[in-house]
Structure 1
Amino acid sequence: MRTKLLYQEDSYIREFEATVLEVNGNEVILDRTAFHDGTGGVQADSGYIIFGNERYFAAASHKGGEVVHVLDRAPVFKPGDVVRGELDWEKRYKKMRLHTAAHILSAVLYDKYNALITGGEITHEYARDDFNIEGDMATVRKAFEEAVAVVNEIAQRGIEIKVYWLPREEALKIPGVVKLAERMPPDIPRLRIVEIPGVDVQADGGPHVKNTREIGVVKIIKVENRGKGKKRLYYTVE
Structure 2
Amino acid sequence: MEELYLKDCYLREFEAAVKSVKDDRFVVLDRTAFYPNSGGQPHDTGTLLRDGEEFPVISVGRFDGKIGHEVSKPGLREGDRVKGIIDWNRRQLFMSYHTACHILSAVIHNETGAMISGNQLAVDKTRVDFNLENFDREQLRSYESRVNDIIDLDIPVEISLLPKDEAFSIPSVVKLKNAFPPELEKIRVIDIRNIDRQACGGTHVSSTGEIPHIEIFKAENKGKNNRRVYFRFRTG
Task: Report the TM-score when normalising by structure 2.
Answer: 0.91
Shift of residue 178, structure 1, vs aligned partner = 6.5
Distance 1:98 1:186, change over 3 A: farther
Q: State the aligned residue count.
A: 231
Spell out the pairing of 1:94-105 with structure 2 (5 A cutoff).
94-105=93-104
CA deviation string 1:18-57 (max 9, x = no partner): 1111111210011111111011110111111111232122
Distance 1:18 1:144, change over 3 A: same
Shift of residue 94, structure 1, vs aligned partner = 0.6
- 1:41·1:122 contact (CA, 8 Å) conserved in 2? yes
Question: Does residue 52 of structure 1 match 2:51?
Answer: yes
CA deviation string 1:163-204 (max 9, x = no partner): 111122321221223787xx8345422100110111110001
Question: Aligned partners of 2:174, 2:72: CA distance in 1, in Å?
Answer: 37
Unmatched runs of 5 consecutive residues or more in structure 2: none
Question: Does residue 156 of structure 1 match 2:152?
Answer: yes
Matched letter for residue 70 of structure 1: E
Q: Alignment partner of 2:96: what SS?
A: helix
Spell out the pairing of 1:99-178 with structure 2 (5 A cutoff).
99-135=98-134, 139-177=135-173
**RMSD of the TM alignment (CA)?**
1.9
Who is 1:22 aligned against?
A: 20
Distance 1:179 1:134, change over 3 A: farther
Pick the aligned partner of 1:10 from 8, 11, 23: 8
Distance 1:186 1:145, change over 3 A: farther
- 1:178·1:202 contact (CA, 8 Å) conserved in 2? no
Unmatched runs of 5 consecutive residues or more in structure 1: none
Distance 1:62 1:54, change over 3 A: same
- 1:192·1:203 contact (CA, 8 Å) conserved in 2? yes
Matched letter for residue 72 of structure 1: S
Who is 2:204 aligned against?
A: 208
CA deviation string 1:36-90 (max 9, x = no partner): 101111011111111123212212111111110011122x232221101111111
Question: Aligned partners of 1:119, 1:219: CA distance in 2, in Å?
Answer: 19
Distance 1:178 1:41, change over 3 A: farther
Percent of aligned positions that are identical: 37
- 1:134·1:140 contact (CA, 8 Å) conserved in 2? no
Question: Does residue 33 of structure 1 match 2:32?
Answer: yes
- 1:97·1:237 contact (CA, 8 Å) conserved in 2? no
Which has the higher mean CA deviation after the structures are superposed, 15-24 or 186-195?
186-195
Which has the higher mean CA deviation after the structures are superposed, 183-192 or 19-28?
183-192
Pick the aligned partner of 1:224 from 220, 233, 236: 220
Who is 1:195 aligned against?
A: 191
CA deviation string 1:199-226 (max 9, x = no partner): 1100011110011000120111311111
Who is 1:184 aligned against?
A: 179
